[in-house]
Structure 1
Amino acid sequence: MNTEHADPRDLAAIRAAFATANGGGPALGWDAVRAFEAVHGVVLPEPYRTVVAEVADGSAAGPPRYGLVGLAELPDDWGAGRPERDLGRPFPLTGPWVWEDDPRPSAEVDPVLDQVFDHGSVVLGTEGCGVYWHLVVTGPHRGHVWYVGGEGAAPFGAEFGSSTAEPGFAGWVRHWAAGGPWFSG
């Protein structure tokens, strides 16, 4: 997984997947992507960066189930009253975490939980019922796609045991385009 340079094969597969997805927003163009990055103090990982600039800024027909939201958007079911998201602060996790089973007191868990939802990732979309897909843009898992739900969070990809797919945005899109289950963990 190369987060610095878009692989032409990945881009071709992603373009093909989004060509069949109806209702996508037009690509933002490079100036708008760079402006977003400057405001948030990040550089988006490839190939997502190129997709948003050149292919589409969102898609009504997945992935995920309710569509890929635009770069600067949040899903309609995103919690009201959540703190402002800070993409420049690192995403805190590097492995799965089921906070619902965490034995620590909530005073220790809650601050990290807020970071999982609000630091270092763009929200790609929702599966509904409080289940979101995030693309990590800052931190050790930069470029990985994460499932974040009400009970816990886990990285997507075969190396993490959550699917048979490659990790990262390209693997996530390929998995969706092939009709794979959204999560098998």
Structure 2
Amino acid sequence: MNIDQADPAELAALRVAFAVDDGGESALGWDAVRAFEAEHGVVLPEPYRTFVAEVSDGSFQGPPEYGLVGLAELPSDWGDDGARRDLAEPFPLTRQWLWEEEDAPYPDQDPEAVVEQVLHHGSVVLGTDGCAMNWHLVVTGPQRGRIWLVTDVGAMPFGAESGGTTCAPGFAGWVAHWAAGKEWFDAA
């Protein structure tokens, strides 16, 4: 997974996966992507960066269940206007955390504060599967370029190295997994 340089094969696969949408008409273009990055103090990880610039800024066909939201958007079930979101602050987790069952991964921090950071720091929200199950792409911190599923009870990284699934890590692996029609958690 190269998050600093777009892989032509990954971009080709992304174009195929979203070919039935609008043929790239909804892509933001490079000026808009750079403006978003400057406004938020981040550089989006590849291949997502090139995807929103050249292929599509959102998709009704998915992934996830209710479609891929645009770069500057939040899913309709988000609950607030997103004003507290700070993409430049690092995403705080490096391992799965079920806050309904486990103590905070950082004993010196208030668990509620860490949950707020998970929800609002260092990631763009890709979309929702409903019922407060949102997919995030981490844009700052040690998990940069990784996909996380954040729910009302916890957060978990997505990708074969995290267990639970057979997909490659990152945005391209997440989309390829969806495009192949696989269940999100398909590992035995």
The question of a shared fold, defined as TM-score above 0.5 by the shorter chain, is answered with yes
TM-score, L = length of structure 1: 0.94
2:18 is paired with a residue whose SS is helix
How far the C-alpha of 1:80 sits from its partner, in A, is 2.4
Q: Distance in 1 between matches of 2:178 and 2:113?
A: 32
Cα distance change on mapping 1:97 and 1:76 into 2, 3 Å: same
Q: Deviations over 1:30-51 (max 9, x none)?
A: 0000000000000000000000
- Identify which of 159, 162, 169 aligns with 2:161: 159
Please list every run of 5 or more consecutive structure 2 residues that lacks an aligned counterpart in the other structure: none
Counting only pairs closer than 5 Å after superposition, residues 1-185 of structure 1 correspond to structure 2 as 1-21=1-21, 26-80=26-80, 84-103=84-103, 108-184=110-186
Please list every run of 5 or more consecutive structure 1 residues that lacks an aligned counterpart in the other structure: none
Q: Contact 1:89–1:119 at 8 Å: present in 2 too?
A: yes
How far the C-alpha of 1:118 sits from its partner, in A, is 0.3
Residue identity opposite 2:102 in structure 1: D
2:127 is paired with a residue whose SS is strand
How far the C-alpha of 1:79 sits from its partner, in A, is 1.8
Q: Distance in 1 between matches of 2:50 and 2:41?
A: 18
Cα distance change on mapping 1:102 and 1:69 into 2, 3 Å: same
1:154 is paired with a residue whose SS is strand
Aligned length: 184
TM-score, L = length of structure 2: 0.92
14-23 or 132-141, which moves further after superposition?
14-23
Q: Contact 1:27–1:57 at 8 Å: present in 2 too?
A: yes
Residue identity opposite 1:125 in structure 2: G
Residue identity opposite 1:66 in structure 2: Y
Aligned-pair Cα RMSD in Å: 1.9
1:19 is paired with a residue whose SS is coil
